[in-house]
Structure 1
Amino acid sequence: MRIGIIGSGNAAQTLGSALVRRGHEVKLGTRSPGKLTHWLEQQNSDDASVGSFRDAAAFGQLVINATAGDGSLEALRAAGSEHLNGKIVLDISLPLDFSTGILTLSVANTDSLGEQIQREFPRAKVVKTLNTVTSAIMVNPLGLADGEHHLFLSGNDAAAKREVQGYLADWFGWKLILDIGDISSARGTEMLLALSSRIYGALGHMNFSFRVVQ
């Protein structure tokens, strides 16, 4: 599959590397292609490439938004709605706000970044997921508790969510994936940041996830 990743940070690079290793063609989109020279050299594969946001979106049969949350809408606008229409946009971003010196969310409670992206690009199939774990766990869930922990899916398109669920199981080995509803349910997973940041403070590391029991 051809996968376009919008973003150039740790999550984008980690996902990109894992997908190239699994035989997918991956193009990372960034404002500054030069910053990804080292990543590109590390891949040592013709399946890895770098371009602009627009290049990555046009390239991908599926598009992953791995930008910093406060820049997601701007980056996706630069990618071009015509390159997102009809495609699954897998949104892993969090609307982080550091403006007060305390980590908070720039949108919460009555809205979410996932919803904002879906409203901005109504013809894209936005699926919010992977935003409750670190990039290392995203691509290697079996490395924590033998994979016995949950990932959550939010989105308006049921078929797109089933497709993403299959990809995540096939690409990375996710066992437990819970569809929690339409895109408004992204409010809940984005707001888990408030809990995750406190758990991080207690444990001193981010190597944890969530498990739903009943």
Structure 2
Amino acid sequence: MRIAVLGTGTVGRTMAGALAGLGHEIAVGTRDPQATLARTEPDAMGAPPFGQWLKDHPHVSLVAFADVAADAELVINATEGAGSVAALSAAGSENLAGKILVDIANPLDFSHGMPPTLSPVNTDSLGELIQRTFPEAKVVKTLNTMNANLMVDPGRAAGGDHSVFVSGNDSEAKREVTTLLKSLGHQDVIDLGDITTARGAEMLLPVWLRLWGALGTANFNFKIAR
């Protein structure tokens, strides 16, 4: 499958590398490919420059948002939540129309310091905002309740015995995303319902952040016992 991963940060790199390893045709989207490749300093999280990562992943290409979305069969939003709508707008609503748009971002608001809050929250979600902004896309919210390493290798925690959620309005899109999740090793995939249920998945983040502080590691996830 031709998959576009929007975002060059840790989550985007991790998803792109793993999906390429499964045999998918992967292109990473960025606003300005030349500017991205020209960076020589580590990013805000201390990761090496994207150009260095790209040399180690020769089967992944770097393309402008609009071009990568136009060519893709499925698009993954791995941008920072605060900039997701702008990035997807740069990708072009016409290039997203009719396609599955997997949203794995979180609407973290750092404007008041740490820990971040959520915006939107309670009566709205980033997943819903993206679906409203791009009504012809088939938005599926998933994977936002775990760190990047667990997204692509769930066996790193509890042998993979934990849960992942999907939310979206299109049942077939959720089935296709569930198949993709299972190819990454996820077994307990819970369909929460339509895109409004993304509110619940996103509102797990305040708990997740505090667990990270209490446990001293991000290598954990939620398990729904039933």
Pairwise TM-score range, normalised by the shorter structure: over 0.9
Alignment of 1:4-153 (within 5 A): 4-33=4-33, 34=37, 35=39, 36-45=50-59, 48-102=60-114, 103-153=116-166
> 1:134–1:207: 8 Å Cα contact kept in structure 2?
yes
Percentage identity across aligned positions? 53
Q: Deviations over 1:18-71 (max 9, x none)?
A: 1111111111011242153212201133xx100111122112100000000000
Which residue of structure 2 lines up, in the alignment, with residue 204 of structure 1? 216
State the alpha-carbon separation in 2 of the partners of residues 43 and 30 from structure 1. 16
Whether the 8 Å contact between 2:31 and 2:90 is mirrored in structure 1 is: no
Preserved CA contact (<8 Å) 1:69 1:94: yes
Deviation for aligned residue 1:165: 0.3
- Helix, strand or coil at the partner of 1:28: strand
Paired residues of 1:137 and 1:143 also in contact (CA < 8 A): yes
Partner of 2:44: none
Q: What is the distance in 2 between the residues matched to 1:109 and 1:200?
A: 22
Mind listing any 5+ residue stretches in structure 1 that lack a counterpart?
Answer: none
Question: 1:27·1:59 contact (CA, 8 Å) conserved in 2?
Answer: no
Measure the CA separation in 1 of the matches of 2:148 and 2:67. Answer: 23
Q: Distance in 2 between matches of 1:139 and 1:75?
A: 23
Give every structure 1 segment of 4 or more consecutive aligned residues whose post-TM-superposition deviation is greater than 4 Å. none
Partner of 1:154: 167
RMSD (Å) for aligned C-alpha atoms: 0.9
SS at match of 2:76: strand
SS at match of 1:107: coil
Whether the 8 Å contact between 2:121 and 2:199 is mirrored in structure 1 is: yes
Which of 184, 187, 207 matches 2:199? 187
- What is the letter of the counterpart of residue 88 of structure 1? I
Provide the C-alpha distance between the structure 1 equivalents of 2:216 and 2:62, rounded to a whole number of angstroms. Answer: 34
Query: In 2, Cα distance between the equivalents of 1:108 and 1:44?
Result: 39
Check conservation: 2:11, 2:78, Cα contact below 8 A.
Answer: yes
Give the aligned residue type for 1:53.
F
Residue 108 of structure 1 contacts residue 191 of structure 1 at CA under 8 Å; is this kept in 2? yes
The answer as to whether partners of 2:156 and 2:219 remain within 8 angstroms in 1 is: no
Cα distance in 2 for residues equivalent to 1:101 and 1:31: 27
Q: Given the two structures, how large is their TM-score scaled by the length of structure 1?
A: 0.96
Q: List per-residue Cα deviations over 1:63-111 (Å, max 9, x = no partner).
A: 0000000000000000001110000000000011110113111210000
Give the Cα–Cα distance (whole angstroms) in 2 for the partners of residues 163 and 122 of structure 1. Answer: 19
